Chains A and B, each alone.
Chain A
Amino acid sequence: MDAYQRIVCKWCNGQNTNPTACAFCGAPLDVQNLVSQSGWREAPRLRDMTQIHFDQSTCQVEGEIVPVVEISLAPNEWVYFEHHCMLWKGDNVPLTVMNLQGPKRSFFRMPHIVTIASGPGRIAFSRDATGEIVVLPLQPGMEVDVREHAFLLASGRVSYTYERIKGLANILFGGNGMWLDRFISQQALGLLVLHGYGNVFERTLAAGESIQVEPGSMLYKDASVTLQAEQIKLSSGLFGGTSMYLARLTGPGRVGIQSMYHHHESGE
C-alpha cells in the first residue's frame, strides 16, 4: 500500500494503513457499514482476536458470544475498571483503588470502588452476559456519558467523573438510575471500552432532533445530548388512566442503545 494512502474508519474516524481492521477501535475496515433504513448504525462486530493500540499498550478482543477484553499494559501506563468485571490478571500487575466518594456512591448502588491496574503486565475483563464490546476512542475534548455499570474499562488518559441525572421524573422513570458515568478526554487520545447487552446501535442526532427510546436501552451518549423521561398517556380513566415512560434524547450528538434492555444488576 502507498505509504500516504489512509483508510478512514467510519466508526471512529481513525486513519489507518492496515486495510482489515481499525487500529484505534478494532472495527473491520473491509466489510460494509451496516445502517438500517431508519438511520441506526450497527456497532462494528469486532473480529475474534482483533488488536487495538492505545498509547504504548494494546487491547485484544477475544470471543464473540461473551467477549473478553485483554489488555497488555506497557510500563507506567494504567487502566481503571469496576472490580467485578475483572476476569484474570498476571500476578505481577499491581492493583490500587481510585479515590471516589464511596459512601455517596454506595448509597445510590453505584460501585464505590473503581480499581486501577498498572503496567507492565496483562489483565483481562469481561461482563457475565451475552453482548458486544464497544470500543470508543476519545479524541481530546470529547465527553461521553455512559449508563451505570456499562463501562468495562478506560485508559489512564481518560478522566472519570459522574453526573447526577436531573429531575425527579428522570430519576424515577428514566431507567438509568440516578447517575451517569462521564468520561472526558482532555489532552490526549484515550480509550473507553463498554459492554452492551445484546446488539448495540448508534445514530447521530442533529441539533434539536429527538428520538424516544425504552429507558433501559440507553447505553451511551455524547454529553451534548439531553435526556428527558416522558410520560406517554395510553388511556384515560377515572383514576388517571394508564401510561408508560420513555426517554427522549435530543441532539446534537451521538446516541448508543442496546437491544437487550433489561436492567441487569451488577451483583456488586
Chain B
Amino acid sequence: MTSPAAPPVCPYCGTSAGTAGASLPTCPGCGAPLDVALRVSASGWLELPAARDMARIQCGHSSVQIEGKIVPVADFALAPGDSVYFPHHELLWKEPGVNITQRSLAGAWKRMLAGLPVRMLDAVGPGRIAFSRDAAGETLAIPLHAGASVDVREHLFMVATKSVAYDWFNCGVWFQTRQGDETETHFPIGMLMDRFTAPAEPGLLLIHAHGNAFLRRLAPGERILVKPSGLLYKDSSVTAHLHFERPRTSGLSLWTWGERYMWLALYGPGRVAVQSAYGHTHDPGGRIVGGANLTEHQW
C-alpha cells in the first residue's frame, strides 16, 4: 500500500496548495502560476513569475485579485470586519462605502527625516478597494505564516492585511565620507527598513518590484553581493553590510568617479529577493572615514 502523496507546495512562497493541489493553475497564497516550469538561472536565481492576470489570492474571508501586467492593480474584496493598511499614495480606487482612517505611527518625526511616509491608512470592509504603484513592474504577494517575518526595503510596501504587524528599524547600513571639513553620512538602502511579522495568524503582504523580481535562498554563512538599490526584501535571519571593491588601475587615474564599487553584502541563512530595475545609488567618492561593519577589497 502506498501512502498518499503530500500536497504540492508553491516553490515561491511555500504555501501548500491543499488537496486541490495539482489542479490549481495559480498558488492560492501568492498568485504565482503553478503550471509552468521553474525558471532558475545558471547562477541560482529563481525568477519570481508575475502573478497571472486576474489571479485571485484568498486571505481569510477576504480576497485580492491581481489585474494587469504592466502596472498591476491589487483589487481587494474585504469581508465585513476585515481590514488592510497601506501608505496613502498607493490607493487607486475604492467603493464609496469603504471607510478609511488614519493609524498612528510611532516615531513620525524620525520617519519624516528618513523620507518615509508618516501616514498609514486603514481600510475596513465590507467593500472593495484597489491599490497600484506608479511604476512599471510586478506586484509581489508574500504570504506570511504565523511567526514568520520579512524585512522590506523602504518605499516598496503597498498593502498588508490586518494580521500582519508593522514595525521598522535602523538597518545599520551606512558609511561616511569627508571632503574638506565636511563629513557626510550616506544610507545606500535608506536609514530605516520595514519589518512585517505575522505574530499569531497568517497574513498577506504585497510589495511592488520595479522591473522583474528574482529570489534565492542563501545557506548559513553563504554570501552574495548585490547592488544596494536592487534589494527588495530579505528574511530577518539574513544580515547585511556594505562592501567596497576597488578595481586595479594602471597609471594615472583621472578620478572621474568614486574609484570603487559599492555592494550590499548579504549573508544567509534565508531568502533574498532583488529587482531588475533600481534607482541610482549615489557614491560621491572621496575618503571613507566611518561606517557600520564596512569591508573592502583591493583588486
Contact = CB atoms under 8 A, between A and B. Distances in A.
B65 interface: yes
A212 B119 CA distance: 20
A42 B102 contact: no
B101 A235 contact: yes
Given A37-B56, A212-B94, A217-B93, A259 B68 contact: yes
The bracket for how many chain A residues form the interface is 20 to 34
Nearest to B135: A260
A45 B91 CA distance: 24
A250 to B, nearest CB: 10
A168 interface: no
B96 interface: yes
Nearest to B127: A38
Interface in B65-83: 65, 67-73, 75, 77
Given A37-B65, A234-B100, A259 B95 contact: no
Of A198, A212, A242, A244, most buried by chain B (CB within 10 Å of CB) is A198
A199 B73 contact: yes
A173 interface: no
B51 interface: no
B67 A257 contact: no
B156 interface: no
A214 B71 contact: no
Interface in A40-95: 40, 42, 45, 65
A211 interface: yes
B53 interface: yes
B144 interface: no
Nearest to A232: B100
Interface in A228-268: 232, 234-235, 242, 244, 246, 248, 257-262
A38 B132 contact: no
B72 A259 contact: yes
B140 to A, nearest CB: 16
Contacts of A199: 67-73
Contact of B128 (A38, A198, A214): A38
Given A235-B102, A244-B88, A131 B70 contact: yes
Contact of A211 (B93, B100, B102): B93
Of B65, B67, B119, most buried by chain A (CB within 10 Å of CB) is B67
A34 interface: yes
A242 B102 contact: yes
B46 interface: no
Contacts of A232: 100
Interface in A1-53: 34, 36-38, 40, 42, 45
Interface in A212-235: 212-214, 217, 232, 234-235
Nearest to A241: B102
A8 B134 CA distance: 34
Contacts of B136: 130, 198, 260
Of B70, B88, B92, most buried by chain A (CB within 10 Å of CB) is B70
B240 interface: no
B67 A197 contact: no
Interface residues of B, number: 33
Given A257-B92, A261-B92, A37 B68 contact: no
A197 B133 CA distance: 11
A186 interface: no
A217 to B, nearest CB: 6
A204 interface: no
11 contacts: A34-B53, A37-B56, A37-B63, A131-B70, A132-B70, A197-B71, A198-B134, A198-B136, A199-B69, A212-B93, A259-B68
Contacts of A259: 67-68, 70-73, 92, 132
A179 interface: no
B9 interface: no
A36 B93 contact: no
B294 interface: no
Contacts of B132: 198, 259-261
A262 B90 CA distance: 11
Given A234-B88, A260-B133, 8 more contacts: A42-B67, A197-B134, A198-B132, A217-B93, A242-B119, A248-B96, A261-B92, A262-B134
Nearest to A242: B102
B121 interface: yes
Contacts of A139: none
A211 B96 contact: yes
Contacts of B130: 38
Contacts of A115: none
A258 B133 CA distance: 11
Contact of A213 (B88, B93, B101): B93
B13 interface: no
